[in-house]
A and B are shown apart, each in its own frame.
Chain A
Amino acid sequence: MSASRPGAPTLRDQIDEEAVRDIATGAAVLGGGGGGDPHRGMMATLAAVRRHGPVPLRSIDDFDDDDLIATPALVGAPMVNLEKFPSGREAVAGLRHLEKISGRPIAGVFSAEIGGVNSMLPIGVAAMTGLPVVDADGIGRAVPEIDMTLFTLNGLSSTPMVMSDDYGNLVTVDSDDPRRVEAIFRPLSTFFGGMAASVLLPGGGRVEVLRSALVRGAYTLAHRYGRGIREAGGDVEKVIEVVRSVGDGRELFRGRITDFDHEIRAGWSQARVTITGTGPYARSTMGIDVVNENLMAEVDGEIVSVMPDITSVFDARSGLPITTEHVRFGFPVVVTSTPADPRWYTPEGLDLMGPRRFGYSFAHA
C-alpha cells in the first residue's frame, strides 16, 4: 500500500504509516457509526509500525489449507481504553499461547471486525511479531453483537480464545456457543482491569475452514475508502464519488443534525438522530436509529437504509466519517448507504443481522 502506486490494487503489498491512517478512516466508514473511535488504536498501531517497520499484507489465497490464522481483538469497556491501553505484548503473549495449545505456529493475523477499532490491533500485532496481516475480516462492517459474524453464519465457534493482561496472566476460553463466550469474557475483562487483549482462532483457525467464513479484501477495501477520502481533501462531492466507486454505495441525504437523543441502556449506546434537510433535501427530515451502529435510516417515514446495509454519516465540512460518539447538534452532515457482504442478504444472513433481529417488524427490501 505504498503511496508510490496511486490507484493500483493494494493486495500483496504492505501496510505503512500512511496506510494505517487510511485504513482507520475507511474502517470508520465501514463501522457505520459504530465500532468505536479508532483514534487510540490508530495511534498504537502507528507507533508499532514506526518502531518495527511496514507490515506485509497477504491474500488468504497465499496461505495453505493447513495454516493457522488468528484474530486479535480488544474486548471490554471502550471507556477504559481512554486511560489504560495495552502495551501490545499482551496480544503477542496470547498468540504464543494459542500456538502452544495448537502445537503449531500461527501463520498470519486477520481482523474480526473491519469496521472500527478492531481493524487496528491485527496490524500492531503483525508489526511486533513479523507475521503478515491476512487481507480479510469476519464481518465486513461493525456489529453490535459478538455472534453476528460469518463464523456464526458458517456454524463455526469463535474459540479457542485467549485473554491476556499486562501482568502476563492468561485465560483460555473454549465454547461452541458464541453467546456463552460473551457471558464468560465480560466479567473476566472487568477482572483484567475493564479491558483485555484477546486472540481468537475461530473454528480452530485452519485456513481451509475459515476461507469461506471471511470477507476477502477487507483491509484493501478499508484502505481504498480511506485513501479516497484523504485525497478528496474535504470535498464532499468527491467523498460521495468514493463511496459510489469503492463500495457501490449511494448518497441518502444531506442536512444538519437537529436532534440527538442519546442514552446508554444495558451497555449499549442507543440514540435517535434527527437530520433536517438542506439543499435538495430542504423539505425533508431524516431519522436514524442507533444501537452502537446506525441500524436504520428513514426519510419522511420511508426506510432508505437498514441492517445489514452500512449507513455512514460524514461531516460535510471535513468529508470525514463520524462515529456515533462524535455526533453533535448542528453538525452539517452527508449520509450514505452501502451494501454489506452479499452473504448477509441470504435468508440465513438476514436471520442473524436483518431488521427483525433488531426488533423491527419489517423485512429487508
Chain B
Amino acid sequence: MPYRIGLDVGGTNTDAVLMSGDSIVAWNKRPTSADVSSGIVAAVADLLKEAQVPAGSVGAVMIGTTHFTNAVVERRRLGKVLAVRICLPANTAIPVAFDWPRELAEAMRLETAMIHGGANFDGKPIASVLPDEIADLARRVEESACDAVALTAAFAPVSAEAEVAVQKQLHSLLPDLEISMSHEIGRIGLLERENATILNASLLKLARETFAGFVQALEELKVTAPLYISQNDGTVVSAEHARSYPIRTLSSGPTNSMRGAAFLSGCDNAIVLDVGGTTTDAGAIVAGFPREAPTEHSISGVRTNFRMPEVASVGVGGGSTVTTADGVRVGPQSVGYAISREALVFGGRTVTATDVAVAAGLADVGDRDAAAGLDPRLVEEAVTAWHQVIEELLEDTRSSRAHVPVILVGGGSIIVDPERINGFAEFVRPDYFQVANAVGAAIPQVSAEIDRILVITPETRAESLDALRNEAMALAVSNGAAAATVTIADEDILNVPSLSDHASRVRIRALGTLEVHA
C-alpha cells in the first residue's frame, strides 16, 4: 500500500497524518507557522522520520487549508477583478455586486461591466455576443491592470456557450489573462453564482502563489508524489486543477474534520462535534458526507451558492476563559493555542474550560492539583453552562428525527461529558480524535457535479438521464478518479411544470476513488 499524507493547515494549528490504506501510521500537531510552507516541511519531515518511511514511498499528499477563507475574511491579497455579466438586454435591474460590503469590493478594486449574450431557460440565446464589446473589455483590463476577469452569463448552467465564446475571444486578445467562468463555479441563481465567480477570480493569484509554495515545500523534502487539495464537499482535486478554483476549498477545514470523524468512527450518519480551543463546530454527516448548507449562503457578507457544508458554531472550546465578574461566563474569549502555557493545569494563571473540566473530573490532563482550588460552585455552574450551549448546538444540527450518534473530535472535546447532554443517546470518541481534520484531508475521493434545467420528455427520459449520468461520471474521471470506481452518488430531479410541460432541474453528482501510485 502506498502511503498518503494528509495535512490540515488551519489558522491556529497544522495537523498532519501519515496513512497507509485505512491505517494511521503516524501523526503530529503543531502551531501553524507564519510562513505556511516551513510548517508543512517540519510536519511532513517529522511524520516520515517517526514512521521510518522514505520520501519516495509516499504516493499522494493531500492538503486542506483555510488560507483562502482568511484572505476573504481579512480582505488581504485579493486580486483586482473585472466582473462581466453576459446578459443584455435583460438583467440590468440589479447592478453587478450591488449588495457587497464596500470594503470587500474596494479590497479587490472591483470593476464591472454588462455585455450582450447569455441564454434563456431553454438554452436559446438572449442575444449574440458582440466582438466590439469584447475588444472594449480587453482594453479595460489592460488600462486598469486587472489581475483576472469573472464571466457570468444568464443561464450558464443550462448553456455555457456565451461564457466560453467570450473567454476565447478575450484570450485571443490577451493570451495570459486569468478568467473564471461561472458555469464552472456555481449553480442556478445568477447573482449568487456571479458573486462566487468574482470571489474565485480575486483569489486566483493567491492560489497560484500558495500552491507553488506547497510544491516547493514538498520538493525540499524530496517528496515527488502528486499534490491534491481538499475541497468543500470532502473530495480532493489535483493542485493543478485547484489553482483555477480556489473558492471550492473555502470551507475545507470543517468538512475535513467531519469527514475524518466519519471515517475514524465508522459512522456514515452522525452529528460531528468538533471542539477546538476557541470554538465548537457542529455539522451533520449524511451518507458519509457533510450535509450541505442551503442553496444560498453568505461568505463574508456576500451571497453565494457554491457547495458548502452546513456548519454551526458557538464560542466555547477547551481554551475558553472562565470568568466570574458578571455571573459565571465561559468564552467567547479564549487563550487559543497558548493553552499549553496559560491554563492552570499547564502551569499558567488563566482559568480555562479545560481547568474546570479537570476540576470536575471530566478530563485528566496536566497537573490536576493546580485546578483543585477552584470553587466547586463555579465549577458546577461553568460545566452546566457550556453543556447547555453544546446541547442547543446539537439540536440545531440534527438533520432528522432519527437517532444518530454524536462523534466527538478535536483537541478540546475532552471537556464534553455525554452524560450531561439530553436528547442524544450515543456518543463516540474515536482514536486519533485530535487530528480528525488531517485524516479527513487524506481520504482519497474525487467527485463531479452537473446542475441543469432542461426539457425531458417521457419518451426520452431514460436516455436523457443516462447521458447526463455519463457526463457526470466522465467529469469525475477527468478530475482524477479511477474510472472503474466511479458511481453516481446522488441525483435530484425536480419538475418545473410552471416553466414548460416537461422542464426539469437535474442535479447529478458522481463520486470515485483517487488512484494512488507509489
Chief secondary structure at chain A's binding surface: mixed
A-B pairs with beta carbons under 8 Å apart, 10 shown: A82-B188, A83-B190, A84-B126, A84-B155, A85-B90, A88-B93, A167-B89, A194-B121, A264-B497, A326-B294
A47, A80, A258: the one contacting B94 at CB < 8 Å is A47
Residue A233 CB within 8 A of the other chain = no
> In the bound complex, how far is the Cα of B398 from the Cα of A242, in angstroms?
31
The winner among B399, B496, B505 for most chain A CB atoms within 10 A is: B496
Chain A residues, CB < 8 A from B90: 84-87, 166, 193
B89, B93, B294: the one contacting A48 at CB < 8 Å is B93
B154 pairs with A84, CB closer than 8 A: yes
Counting residue pairs across A and B whose Cβ atoms lie within 8 Å, the total is 102
Chain B nearest CB: distance from A57 CB in Å? Answer: 21
> In the bound complex, how far is the Cα of B126 from the Cα of A195, in angstroms?
13
Among all A-B residue pairs, the 3 with the closest Cβ atoms: A44-B93, A87-B92, A77-B498
Chain B residues, CB < 8 A from A193: 90, 120-121, 126
Chain B residues, CB < 8 A from A190: 499-500
Given contacts A84-B87, A85-B90, A194-B500, 8 further A-B contacts (CB under 8 A): A44-B94, A46-B99, A80-B499, A84-B91, A85-B94, A87-B93, A264-B496, A330-B395
B92 pairs with A88, CB closer than 8 A: yes
Residue B22 CB within 8 A of the other chain = no
Residue B400 CB within 8 A of the other chain = yes
Chain B residues, CB < 8 A from A3: none
A46 pairs with B497, CB closer than 8 A: no
Chain A 178-206: CB-based contact to B (< 8 A → 1; otherwise 0) = 00000000100010011000000000000
Chain B residues, CB < 8 A from A224: none
A48, A79, A330: the one contacting B496 at CB < 8 Å is A79
| Interface residues of B, count at CB 8 A | 37
Chain B residues, CB < 8 A from A264: 494-497
Residue A65 CB within 8 A of the other chain = no
> In the bound complex, how far is the Cα of B98 from the Cα of A190, in angstroms?
28
A87 pairs with B494, CB closer than 8 A: no
Residue B434 CB within 8 A of the other chain = no
B89, B189, B495, B500: the one contacting A166 at CB < 8 Å is B89
Residue A116 CB within 8 A of the other chain = no
Of all chain A residues, the one with the shortest Cβ separation from B189 is A82
Knowing A85-B94, A190-B500, A330-B395, say if A43 contacts B191 (CB, 8 Å): yes
Chain A residues, CB < 8 A from B190: 82-85
Chain B residues, CB < 8 A from A47: 93-95, 98
A43, A77, A332: the one contacting B499 at CB < 8 Å is A77
B154 pairs with A83, CB closer than 8 A: yes
> In the bound complex, how far is the Cα of B216 from the Cα of A261, in angstroms?
52
> In the bound complex, how far is the Cα of B87 from the Cα of A62, in angstroms?
40
Of all chain A residues, the one with the shortest Cβ separation from B495 is A264
B498 pairs with A76, CB closer than 8 A: yes
Residue A40 CB within 8 A of the other chain = yes
Residue B74 CB within 8 A of the other chain = no
Knowing A40-B94, A79-B453, A329-B399, say if A87 contacts B89 (CB, 8 Å): yes
A330 pairs with B94, CB closer than 8 A: no
Of all chain A residues, the one with the shortest Cβ separation from B95 is A47
* Docked complex: B155-186 residues within 8 A CB-CB of A: 155
> In the bound complex, how far is the Cα of B502 from the Cα of A267, in angstroms?
11
> In the bound complex, how far is the Cα of B497 from the Cα of A266, in angstroms?
7
Chain A nearest CB: distance from B371 CB in Å? Answer: 35
Chain B 498-518: CB-based contact to A (< 8 A → 1; otherwise 0) = 111000010000000000000
> In the bound complex, how far is the Cα of B155 from the Cα of A258, in angstroms?
35
* Docked complex: B451-494 residues within 8 A CB-CB of A: 453, 494
The winner among A44, A82, A193, A267 for most chain B CB atoms within 10 A is: A82
> In the bound complex, how far is the Cα of B93 from the Cα of A124, in angstroms?
9
Chain A residues, CB < 8 A from B92: 87-89
Chain A nearest CB: distance from B304 CB in Å? Answer: 13
> In the bound complex, how far is the Cα of B66 from the Cα of A360, in angstroms?
54
* Docked complex: B289-314 residues within 8 A CB-CB of A: 294
Residue A328 CB within 8 A of the other chain = yes
Residue A256 CB within 8 A of the other chain = yes
A256 pairs with B395, CB closer than 8 A: yes
Chain A residues, CB < 8 A from B121: 77, 79-80, 83-84, 193-194
Residue B396 CB within 8 A of the other chain = yes
Residue A259 CB within 8 A of the other chain = yes
Chain A residues, CB < 8 A from B91: 84-85, 87
